Amino acid sequence: MEVKEAVQRAWRSGTALLSVNVVNLETAQGVAWGAERAGRPAILMVSHNAARYGGLEELYLIGQSLRRKARVPLYLHYDHAEDLEDLERAFSMGFDSAMLELPHHPLSPEGRRLIREARRLAGERALEVELEVVEKGERRGSRLDPQELLALAREVEADWLVVDLGTVHKAEEPKPLDLGRLEALRALGRPLVLHGGSSAPLDQLARAIAMGVAKVNLATAAFRAFTQGVRQEVDRTWDPRGYLGPGRESLARWLAELYSLLPGMPAG
């Protein structure tokens, strides 16, 4: 099953795939192992910043190796492609899906051109587009009227849509989700993506998934789990395997537990 079909299936059934940022071998293994323990499909997500750190090709090959061996479906997503060249490189390499970060309003002339070209590059693969910017660093949120979002959704050729439900990238504290707004946005008629999923309270996240959020992006919580495992051992050994291994295991446990607490479909 391709990732587009998997997310579509999750959306129809009120479940979701967890899409987790990976930055090296151990974080990718932790996500893969956690998904296997949960018996759920998962998405290994490489951001543009992770690609700058570890190399896009290197991280892609790690993901490819892991999913060939995995007992559950694993998909590779490139997140926050900053331009069409970035997007084309990821798709030509073999990523299953990618997100285009728009510097312009989606229906501005330049926004329309970028989305049209992104759709061409994606072909049959899944394309994710931000209808609204979710706060991230210097990027501030830009909520639109629900009717404007409905008009956007009719024109934007994207498989998955990102909307602002109150989450914040890299947030350390929980941020309440605007479930009333989500109820209105169900009329968008396509799978919704929750950026900054680490900041969503667990009970509200479960409700959001049941209401149409079919892909949940997670980074901060995953990195926290990994780093907690590293900190328990890093002062005891000089051998990186002695502390990266516990970090990997901590991440795997966290993901398996999170999946057990959320509505989700089996891997088959």
pLDDT per residue over 151-198, tens digit each? Answer: 888 889 999 999 999 998 877 788 999 999 999 999 999 999 999 999
pLDDT, one tens digit per residue, over 126-136 is: 999 988 877 66
How far is CA 54 from its chain centroid? Answer: 18
Do the beta carbons of residue 125 and residue 135 sit within 8 Å?
A: no
The three-point CA angle 108-112-113 to 5° equals 120
Residue given tokens 């929750």 in the structure block: 194
- pLDDT for the residue 146: 86
- pLDDT for the residue 8: 97
Residue type, 86: D
Q: Which domains does the chain have, with CATH numbers?
A: 3-17+96-261 (3.20.20.70)
Count the Cβ atoms, other than its own, within 10 Å of residue 12: 12
Global pTM reads 0.94
Structure tokens at 178: 């605007």
Listed in sequence order, the residues at least 6 apart from 143 whose beta carbon sits closer than 8 Å to its beta carbon are: 132, 164
> Which is it for strands 160-162 and 42-47: parallel, antiparallel or unpaired?
unpaired
Q: Average pLDDT of 242-260? A: 98
pLDDT, one tens digit per residue, over 110-121 is: 988 999 999 999
Alpha carbons within 13 angstroms on the beta-carbon side of residue 32 total 20
pLDDT band at 147 (very low <50, low <70, confident <90, very high): confident
